[in-house]
Amino acid sequence: MNRVKQLEQFEAWKKAEALSFHAYELSKTFPPEEFFGFTMRIRQAASAISSYIAEGFYSPVTDYVHSVEVAVTYVCELKETVKLSCFAKYVTREELVLLEKRCDEMTRLLNRLIFTLKYK
């Protein structure tokens, strides 16, 4: 496998950071009473995705696989929390669809990475 040498060049990490920024921007419009609810959950899940990718990047392969698997769970948490925020009318249907597409793309990318790390 042709391993990227620097985290900043790694496509999965760059996309995870972009997803995190998108989620932060989306949560900025939430009412103040949701700060310890939806806002915090969305921001924690979003930042955890790139953080776990970064954590695993410089680790042995088995630890790296585990870190990426954890990152996938945070993508799922982010997607679900934004969906609930949509039900609560804090996010529009259009915003939800866009974020879901980005989450689905991130999940596919991370699953391909897991496969590559495990079997190549």
We report the CATH number of the domain holding residue 58 as 1.20.1440.60
Determine the pLDDT at residue 18. Answer: 96
pLDDT at 5 over 90: no
Any domain includes 93? yes
pLDDT at 98 over 50: yes
Please write the tens of the pLDDT for every residue from 6-28: 777 788 999 999 999 999 999 99
Q: Supply angle C-alpha 74, 75, 76, rounded to 5.
A: 85
Determine the pLDDT at residue 7. Answer: 77
Any domain includes 1? no
Name the residue range of residue 83's domain.
7-119
Please write the tens of the pLDDT for every residue from 79-96: 999 999 999 999 999 999
Any domain includes 52? yes
What average pLDDT does the chain have?
92
Determine the pLDDT at residue 63. Answer: 93
Distance CA 112, CA 43 (A): 25
How many domains does the chain fold into?
1
Any domain includes 2? no
- Band of residue 4 on the pLDDT scale cut at 50, 70, 90: low
Distance between start and end Cα atoms, the chain: 7
Determine the pLDDT at residue 1. Answer: 45
Higher pLDDT, 59 or 23: 23
